[in-house]
């Protein structure tokens, strides 16, 4: 199986997440399921320089037991401590959750610690973000390193059917059908948190948008919400590296 395009995509998504400030240093990891039994995931090596500098070769193939998915896949590489986050999130909804992003966006963490519930306080400013928050963003209450299947299952239970979950004092987990969508959801969530914090800093309490407004906040389709948005993220990333 030729997985070079998939490795390149996951590595690119890691760099996009870092460029957006969703991770810092060496913390955070992304994964992509490639078949019923295996997934690609960002791993670490002794030469690792951080998520912002992820290379395709840092994306390794493993199975759902955490073993190499092919000969030599983990030679010189270590699995992330929080591998169970990816395995249990995918297992909970195999068809819908093909990609998982575990990130540490500071604005989301800060807003949650400040007691700010992430709600749809704006509309056309970011329509996918508004819809993401409409049903509420669940919170996993523990600030632990999620390195066991039991803890990961607890996090997934808190997540329910939502596409994202906030891990209190820790970060977030975002799951979607594609790695692009998983990262874009995280970007939208962090922007909602950032805007909520800004409003609170003024002394005001942000209110949700009016119920009547939802009828005029249409789904503009994946060609715009995902494909065009991702082209922008890649262009933005490349511009920053030029």
Which tokens belong to 182?
């998983």
Q: Which of 6, 82, 191, 233 is catalytic?
A: 82
Q: What is the DSSP string of 108-130?
A: HHHHHHTT-------STTSHHHH
Instruction: Give the pairing of strands 164-167 and 139-140.
Output: parallel
Specify the 3-state DSSP secondary structure of 241. Answer: helix
- Total Cβ atoms within 10 A of residue 63: 15
Q: What pairs with residue 170 in β-bridges?
A: none
Residue found by looking up tokens 């591998």 in the block: 83
Which helix (H) or strand (E) segment is 9 a member of? helix 4-19
Sequence-distant (≥ 6) Cβ neighbours of residue 222 within 8 angstroms: none
Please say if 73 is a catalytic residue. Answer: no
User: Taking the CA atoms of the chain, what radius of gyration do you get in angstroms?
Assistant: 18
Active site residues: 82
């Amino acid at each position: 199986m030729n997985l070079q395009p998939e490795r390149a995509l996951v590595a690119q998504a890691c760099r996009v997440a870092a460029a957006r400030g969703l991770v810092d240093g060496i913390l955070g990891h992304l994964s992509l399921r490639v078949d019923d039994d295996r997934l690609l995931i960002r791993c670490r090596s002794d030469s690792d320089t951080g998520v912002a500098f992820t290379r395709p070769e840092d994306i390794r193939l493993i199975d759902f037991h955490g073993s190499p998915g092919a000969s030599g896949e983990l030679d010189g590489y270590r699995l992330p401590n929080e591998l169970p986050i990816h395995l249990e999130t995918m297992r909970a909804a195999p068809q819908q959750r093909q990609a998982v992003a575990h990130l540490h966006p500071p604005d989301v963490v800060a807003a949650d610690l400040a007691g700010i519930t992430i709600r749809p306080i704006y509309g056309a400013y970011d329509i996918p973000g508004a819809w993401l928050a409409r049903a509420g963003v669940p919170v996993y209450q523990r600030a632990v390193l999620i390195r066991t299947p039991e803890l990961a299952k607890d996090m997934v239970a808190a997540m329910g059917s939502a596409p994202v979950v906030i891990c209190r004092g820790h970060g977030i987990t975002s799951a979607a059908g594609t790695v692009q969508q998983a990262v874009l959801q995280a970007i939208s969530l962090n922007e909602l948190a950032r805007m909520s914090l800004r409003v609170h800093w003024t002394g005001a309490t942000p209110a949700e948008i009016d119920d009547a407004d939802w009828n005029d906040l249409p789904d503009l389709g994946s060609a715009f919400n995902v494909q065009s948005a991702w082209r922008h993220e890649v262009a933005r990333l490349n511009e920053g590296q030029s």
